Structure 1
Amino acid sequence: MKKFIILMLSVQAIWAQQPTKRIEFEAPESYPEGVAFDKASNAFYVTSARLGTVGKVTREGKYTELYADKSLKSTYGIKVHPDGKRLFFCAADANYSKFSTPETKKKTARLISIDLRSGKKLSDTDLSGLAAGEHFPNDLAFDNQGSVYVTDSYADVIYKVDTNGKAAVFSRSELLKAAGVGPNGIVFHPHGFLIVANNGTGALVKIDLNNPEKGAKVKIDQFFPNADGLLLHDNYTLTLVQNGGVNKIFKLKTADNWTTAQVTESTSVEDRFAFPSTAAAAGSETWIMNANFSELTEGNNVPSKKFSLQQAVFNPVKK
């Protein structure tokens, strides 16, 4: 009986260390970074840091290319427009593109929209002339009026593109600055502000739409170096994706409108996320894009053919 109990405990331990559920798909060399979920088609849309494409991934793991453009080097953050008919995504040439050129490297900054069903391009906004220096448009968010806010991780600014397609620098807050990669993941809060993850400093920055140049750090009892994607679940709950060796997903909550926040839950180290980048909500589930960028930084790997979306299962954080 004692041996049986020990065996059962061993089996349970092995089971507990298994990674959470994944949707694996074959998209050779793509290295997807951004992910968005579309309720109408019950499918995910992903970008490509290496090839500059946009693809569709079904729940069953079938990948099809939705949009390709020879002028694109890399694609990053992607979101479904509130109208449910359009996909918006960031186009750059920041680091991992297979097609990078001296003319586009760290210079490309575009916001593109396509028809969600046909993949036809609807708009293409050049952001590269709005701020000096190098460029890396990384993520985006929509406000209640349908305007788009885009983080530029190299120029350390946030752009705003209104519903007429007019683009301008929205915020140059000092809190967006960092050595290397700065503002990254971004969400819009219905109370009239943005929350931005500063990749370099590990801070969350709150930007009031009525006073965008100031900004304030959300007071949290820890920092998140290499913070990437953000996902707002409701007015009080936020998911943060952290890579750079940590490779965990955190859930934060606030009781004072994001003046302060507390880490309440996180994923387990045993889940073994592979350089997680961004998050998308599919009903009550949270899915994470495994970008696998560590393969590209090592430089001696054969490019992967298969990638995965992985479900985040959260556990309470012990205080």
Structure 2
Amino acid sequence: MKKIIVCALFVGCAAAIPDQPTARIEFNAPEAYPEGIEYDSNSDTYFVSSARLGSIGKVTPAGAYSILNNDPTFKSSYGVKVHPDGKRLFACIGDANYSKFTSPDTRKKMARLVGIDIATGKKTDDIDLAGLVQGEHFPNDIAFDSQQNAYVTDSFANVIYKVTPGGKASVFADSPLFKTKGIGLNGIVYHPSGYLLTVSSGTGTLYKIDLNNSKNIAKVSTEQFFVNGDGLLLTDNQKLVVVQNGGSDKIYELTSEDNWSSAKLSASTLVADRFTYPSTATKAKDKVWVMNAKFTELTDSTSVPSRKFAIQHARLMPLPR
């Protein structure tokens, strides 16, 4: 009887809802605690960051992990994104919370956008963002627009930085709407219609920012707030994947029919999928894959550091309209 009740929640459901977790790509990366993930179709590789060690790694679809870059000055690495040129991987580098190598001179102070040559693993770019805004810093996620400008969220300063292709950095968007305690602005994506979409972990609100006028900021009207919202992934112009952790540990799909003035929930993952503090998402071929960051272990002093982590398929089940 329970299966019939649950099944009624989903459109076109003729059989029992799956009760097993989705496919996982497991890999050994002792103490890495990867947060960012990016699939590179050219090399058929997943790039992953490390909140604990700062290293940048790569994972094959078969689960073989290796280090791309292990710069000792990278205290923590978070969001990662392949540059539009396809040759470099960019990463948000800071020392916000979980670094094994944290130090007083960098703790909540470091904010860098770093580029790494995908073929050699050598650093190609290193842009300092910390001097643009006073206070604490947490460079968290990154998006590129059609002109190869980079946009970086700072989850402590609650601003969005802009870095030009030539490496010039500035504050792109700063608004009272963004201000919140704790971790604020987090995931960010570029929409080809000429704006950014970002989510605040602290308030659960989605924002739309006009690229031609960064003061033109609007809240996206949604049916619920996404407190502890983390990574965002635009799968097409009308569909946005939102990763939520902090206890919920679910992935949602939002659909907009009015150019992201508003959006409705269209799909979500199931409790049975058992994500473990999902953080960010990427699309590989026709599927959405999510990084299980396992950050709850980092706040538990009795926890033994994990050696194994998993990239998990997000099976998005349609919700009733």
Task: Please name the residue that 1:5 is paired with.
Answer: none
How far apart, in 2, do the equivalents of 1:19 and 1:89 lie?
Answer: 30
1:145 aligns with 2:152: no
Report whether the alignment pairs 1:116 with 2:118.
yes
Q: Per-residue displacement from partner, 1:283-311 (whole Å, max 9, x unpaired)?
A: 11100000000001112111000000000
| Equivalent residue in structure 1 for 2:103, among 101, 107, 110 | 101
Q: Deviations over 1:91-127 (max 9, x none)?
A: 0100000000111100000000010111110010000
Aligned equivalent of 1:154: 156
**Partner in structure 1 of residue 205 of structure 2:** 203
Distance 1:34 1:243 in 2: 14
* TM-score of the aligned structures, taking structure 1 as reference length: 0.95
Q: Distance in 1 between matches of 2:170 and 2:196?
A: 16
For residue 61 of structure 2, what is the aligned residue in structure 1? 59
The normalised TM-score by structure 2 is 0.94
CA distance in 2, matches of 1:213, 1:89: 26
Map of 2:3 onto structure 1 = none
1:32 aligns to what SS in structure 2? coil
Q: Output the CA distance in 1 between the equivalents of 2:107 and 2:302.
A: 21
The answer as to whether partners of 1:23 and 1:60 remain within 8 angstroms in 2 is yes
Runs of 5+ in structure 2 lacking a partner? 1-14
Cα displacement (A) at 1:234: 1.2
1:24 equivalent to 2:21? Answer: no
- Matched residues in 1 for 2:179 and 2:69: separation? 33
Aligned match of 1:316: 318
Over the aligned positions, Cα root-mean-square deviation in angstroms equals 1.1
- Aligned with 1:129: secondary structure? helix
**What is the total number of aligned residue pairs between the two structures?**
307
- Residue 163 of structure 2 corresponds to residue 182 of structure 1: no
| Alpha-carbon shift at residue 210 of structure 1 (Å) | 1.7
What secondary structure, in the 3-state scheme, does the structure 2 residue paired with 1:16 have? coil
Question: What's 1:33 paired with?
Answer: 35
Deviation at 1:175, TM superposition (A): 2.0
Query: What is the aligned partner in structure 2 of residue 7 from structure 1?
Result: none
Alpha-carbon distance between aligned partners in 1 of 2:36 and 2:299, rounded to the nearest angstrom: 18
- Partners of 1:257 and 1:116 lie apart in 2 by 34
Alignment of 1:1-319 (within 5 A): 16-318=18-320
Counterpart CA distance in 2 for 1:227 and 1:140 is 15
The aligned amino acid for 1:57 is V
Q: Which runs of 4+ in 1 moved over 2 A?
A: none
Letter of the structure 2 residue corresponding to residue 151 of structure 1: T
Amino acid at match of 1:298: D
Deviation at 1:136, TM superposition (A): 0.1
Q: Which amino acid aligns with 2:146?
A: N
Contact preservation (8 Å) 1:135, 1:153: yes
Query: Displacement of 1:55 after TM fit?
Result: 0.3
Determine the C-alpha separation between the residues in 1 that align with 2:217 and 2:201: 16
AA partner of residue 16 (structure 1): P
Contact 1:173/1:212 (8 A) holds in 2: no
Same amino acid, percent of matched pairs:
57
